[in-house]
Chains A and B, each alone.
Chain A
Amino acid sequence: EVQLVESGGGLVQPGGSLRLSCAASGFTFSGFWMNWFRQAPGKGLEWVANMKEDGNRYYVDSLKGRFTISRDNAKNSLYLQMNSLRVEDTAVYYCARKAEAAGYFDYWGQGTLVTVSS
């Protein structure tokens, strides 16, 4: 059974940093693009970043330079380092697996809440 479990969310002050983790199991992690999404309270879904097994990575333009996606295939884990956090970064952050053949997302974690507030 495919499972994705996010952790690392919490309360952080504006300007602070946070590192999210996503532990994957039930599939060959190294064979898939992995992604981060976020959803602000009461709002829609936003793709944040993704990373291929070989290290290629892409980001939504608005977050380039502040967020960094990484992965450890040996640990079946995906990470999101978030720096210079702003109030508007407050959201539930989800990791998700991109399907093998195309750019839709077939498995999602339950999400971890990041709250940026003073």
Chain B
Amino acid sequence: EIVMTQSPATLSVSPGERATLSCRASQSVSSKLAWYQQKRGQAPRLLIYGASTRASGIAARFSGSGSGTEFTLTISSLQSEDFAVYYCQQYNDWPPMYTFGQGTKLEIK
């Protein structure tokens, strides 16, 4: 099983500032990495797939980078609606064993 580790667990950032979230895989997942946003009481929402491709309708302030074992989600200028929990997910395993990081909570500073 590929273990995904996110850091930090909690990130405090002021609105308008940049947020950088990290995700590490226990072995290479190539670029088979997705990011999701989850607000309290809601289902996850796909933000990024293929490590760096924004999903349909996702604002340009969200960007993803990385490959292999190290990945980053950057939110360039935080808006109030961006404060949420963010999860990374790998999809490199076959047979499928999709695994998620434990999440990073992005909170208002």
Contact = CB atoms under 8 A, between A and B. Distances in A.
Given A45-B87, A104-B89, A50 B96 contact: yes
Contact of A44 (B50, B96, B103): B103
Given A50-B96, A58-B96, A110 B91 contact: no
B11 interface: no
A104 B45 CA distance: 11
Contacts of A108: 43-45
B49 A102 contact: yes
Nearest to B91: A103
Contacts of A104: 34, 46, 49, 89, 91
Interface residues of B, number: 26
Interface residues of A, number: 20
Interface of B: 1, 32, 34, 36, 38, 42-46, 49-50, 55, 87, 89, 91-92, 95-103
Interface of A: 35, 44-47, 50, 58, 60-61, 94, 99, 102-106, 108-111
12 contacts: A35-B98, A44-B101, A47-B97, A47-B99, A58-B95, A94-B43, A99-B49, A102-B49, A103-B32, A104-B49, A105-B34, A108-B45
